[in-house]
Structure 1
Amino acid sequence: MQFFRNFFKSKFGVPVTLAFVALIGFAFATSDVAMNSTFGGIAGGERVAVVGDEKISSSDLTTAAASAVDSARQQNPTISMPVFIEQGGLDDVLDQLLERTAIAVYAKNNGLRAGDNLVNSEIMNIPAFRGADGNFDQEAYRQALASRRLTDAQVRDDLGQGLLAQQVLVPAAFGAKAPDSIIRRYAALRKESREGSIAILPSAVFAPSDDPSADALQKFYTANRGDFIRPERRQIRYFTFGAEQLGDRAIPTDAEIAAYYRENSAQFAAIERRTVTQLIVPTQQAAEAIRNRVRSGGSLEQAAREARLSTTTIDNATKAEFSSQTSSAVANAIFAAERGTVAAPARSGLGFHVARVDAIDRQAARTLDQARSEIRAALEVQKRRTALTDLAELVDGLIQEGAALPEIAAEVGAQVQTTPALTAAGAVYGTQTRAPDAILPALQTAFEMDEGEPEITEIPPGGTFLVFETADITESAAAPLAEIRDQVIAAYRLSEGSKLAKAAADRVLERLKDGQTLAAAIRAESKPLPAVDSINLSRQQLEQSGQRVPAPLALMFSMAEGTAKKLEAPSNAGWFIVDLENIETGTLADNDPALEQTRRELAQLFGREYAEQMRDAIKDDVEIERNETAIEAVRKALLGER
């Protein structure tokens, strides 16, 4: 080693060392070129795709996939990344990334821009980023991004691409309309009715009763692992604390009660409140005339109607409140009058008030002893709130110091509890039992936490605090075959039954071709099958139902008259046979409202179609190169595979 050190310091060693360093750099550069002119590095490198000159990194795809799963959880709380990927979600996310990037590249190549000011304007207009005053709030913006694990740069880039897409696609779809001949044709379809029949061949009827061989079951399980993915489950440790942990800290002393009485003496002084009905007129002469009329036995309301005015009522107000709502002169006049009489007219900024005193509520002053129970109750609420806040701050401090959950619970005198394994939907895994009510407000947060990191939150509507942590995480994955053998066998039987039901459906279709009715063709099967349903419906009836049209009915309304088709039911449930016997076309007047409705709907449909065609044309125009190796690496990383 000393020899090499001395050599590197010599006049011959220095140039040799520099040449060696240069050789290493050249080797790195050439190896990168040799790997791929576009992609580089181990397992395809960081780039999952290149769109034009824009590169989409593996972190971009990972972030987009995580965001998509978060969004999907708004509808399905138990969905996990493996389930999302199994359902093709990652492919959809990548396609969206490629499309958005292609549109942005095309827009920039054609001189369109989305500058910082335009992006800033979009950010400021997003409601989630506004504060309590309705204006953009930097802290709200930061918290919203942190909750979605996004950076400012990512948000700005996404908004910029969206603005470019608007500039490209909106003009393509704007002003789209359909020819009148097409409008009339589609409007006439609304009046159409169809008659036929639908039969179902359930897989369960044809399913084998024998258990499959171990080899067949294993092959079926391997091919359908995605159907047996369990949701992520978490056990949560928690405790709650509230007023029961405060002891005598929330009980006010006699000295505190006396001090409160002194500091709020106006609250316990004698007070008078009055309810009045009043009429406001522009002149004093008019006010005096109305007052005299009422004093002579007339009605204030009748006088108001004759003058084409209206009366108003002020309920149970003090003299100070009357003064603030009207004027001090009006308040003095009202409180000088007796109950049931009309006060002397007095002026405010609105005019002269003619006020009738309807009710008087006088409350005498209260002594300390008389007000003691009321003061004690008020102070208990105040002291309880303060003591709970102090206790919560103590707990938060212990959390920041890294104290364990049992230590924190012991400090406040609470008992730690542990939930069974829970799903993100708030159910005990494998049962219909709900999670404990105390943990439900924090469940979403608990499914975003790492293990052993306590947090504190207040349980609405207040008065109780929850301290919780994730105790155990079971990742979403396909259940081992040994644990769900019966479930897999049932699914295998249903799958085999679906194959046999399909063969039966083909036989039924052959009988229909020979002229048999659907009912007769179904009866010809050796298995006991459900009766055939006769259908006679119009399109308007389907639309008015307000529900999603069942797939067999949707098929019936897309078939040609006199034909029959088969349709697979979801989840290997069986096969439908749809037999369309007759189509009745409806009549359409020139002024039928359906024409205008169809015109609007087709305009929207044509606009979407033009925009879709524009997207396809852009993707053909902008060169897109995918790195399947890197994409597969991201897929495995998201699934937790090596």
Structure 2
Amino acid sequence: MALQTLRKGASGWIAKIFLVVLTLSFLVWGIADVFRGFGASSVASVGGTDISANEFRARYLEQVQQIGRRTGRGLSPEQARALGVDRQVLNQMIADATLEAEGKRLGLAVSNAQVADAIAANPAYRRPGAAAFDPAYFNQLLRQNSLTEARFVQLERARMLRDQMIQSLGTGLAVPAVLVDAVHRYESEARDATYILVTAEAAGEQPAPTEDQLRAFYDAHKITFRAPEYRKVSVLALTPEALAAHVAVSAEDARAFYDREQVSFGTPERREVRQIVFPTPEDAAAASDKIKAGASFDDIAAARGLKPTDTDLGLVAKSAILDPKIAEVAFLIVPGGTSAPIEGRFGFALVNVPRAEPASRKPFDEVKSEIETELALAKARRELLDQHDAVEDERASGSTLGEIAKKLSLPLSVIDAVDRSGRDPAGNPVEIPGRAEVVSGAFAAPVGVETDTIQLPGNGGFVWFQTDAVIPARDRTFEEARAEVEARFKQEALAKAVEAKAQALFDQAKAGTLLAQVAGGADLPLKVAEGLRRGRATPPFSVEAITEVFSAKDGGVGLAPAAEAPDRVVFQVSKITVPPEGPQDQQIAAQLSAQMENDLLVQYLGALQQQFGVTVNQRVLSQSVGAGAGS
């Protein structure tokens, strides 16, 4: 936390822009990646100035920890490298060193007084809630981060110098008004369009293909109809369900479970319960006396200004009533009666029960099979680990899966052919536990080689498998692929028919015929789409169709694929709306200005790095992030 305070204190809006640039820019990696001129403790060098491995490692670990805190889980070294954290951190340190080297070349400096004033004025270095700089608190922060005052002043001086250089490079760049207007128009422009949706129905029914057409289509697309590579796989699945099939449950055990778990096989008694709560026992006793004298429960409630919803607890089971005293009395009194005063959790109450529904219970014979299944599964789950160990012992002794299944009376599934997607030659999914892992493992493992055990999630069991054979991919004959060939032929023929129909309508509109007349002549409805926005699919307009709409002029016509294939859209732009200038233009200008500043800084850093020369010691870098030297 203390280090974050120091980091926060050393950051401002310039540093934020700088961080964006450093995160996105990897210019240095295209400049040099060599291994000369280093000490064993240097990870990189800029213009002869070394970046120590220790300092890099500290910054790298800090960044990894920050990412872990933001995501709520730690990053492994492999994950951090995959995200490029090592490159981002080193790139930032190289950029810092580049600016410092240029500052030295230009003879720039920051005085001790300027550094001291900046530290004293920074609220991050004050105690929480304090109005003035506290040297003791500041020294405490330094000690917590193993920094001396001299070292921190040196770091702060370098940071201030870099900030001044960035400011002098160009901040608050003015964005040309024409650029702001162009971006504003691009992002906020909306268009309306009238259109004709040409669907498969509009294209009409297509003639059935002839035998010659199908064979010609097959010959032209033979590779499309190839049979994929398959694997023959033996699978031994040890699951509670598989074990339960061999577990016997006695009638006595089933009956005992039925008697013990009565609530599971029926519904408990439910009663309609109403209550009135009084602040004192005297008020409750007085109301009870009135009921005994002939007043009704409703009369008492009305006299106290209570509505039915204020007193009604509903038709509930005993367990649903929060106050145990109220629940006990409510299920003891005779339905239709009212209780004597009860001292409950929230005061003194009278309870009225207008009616009751008796408990119900399914007969034993009706739920017997359900109970037997549940008991068998429970026993199977208890035996699961013992059976797992038995299978592993047999595997260790060299037994095959078939031999193990036979010896332990476990089911062995032999899949004659499964492709990489987990389907059989008929295209149906193969139903086996852990299918995705089994299939991927079967295609990765050599034939006959023992594979790792798969543990199913949620204590669902274990799966062992073995690849028995490889069935190579091959060309299917026309007869084998005939059904698929015919389906594909019809699909393409229909798409061509829809395209031809839409093209004919588009040609009419392009020739000057009003789109309404074109639609009427084709007996198709003319529809209107309003408020279309760039880059946003709005069915039936696909993203591609939206692009065409925004490429056309006002009144221009176009033809594009619809959101659903093989439909097509013939459209005409009927209205173009550009909102007037507003606050969003200021945001656009600010964003463009920041991007221009970033681009300028990236180019400036690239030029300086080319001038000074940058070298990276990949071996030390890899060691610093926990990777091998050759990673």
Name the TM-score class by shorter chain. 0.3 to 0.5
TM-score, scaled to structure 1: 0.45
TM-score scaled by length of structure 2:
0.46
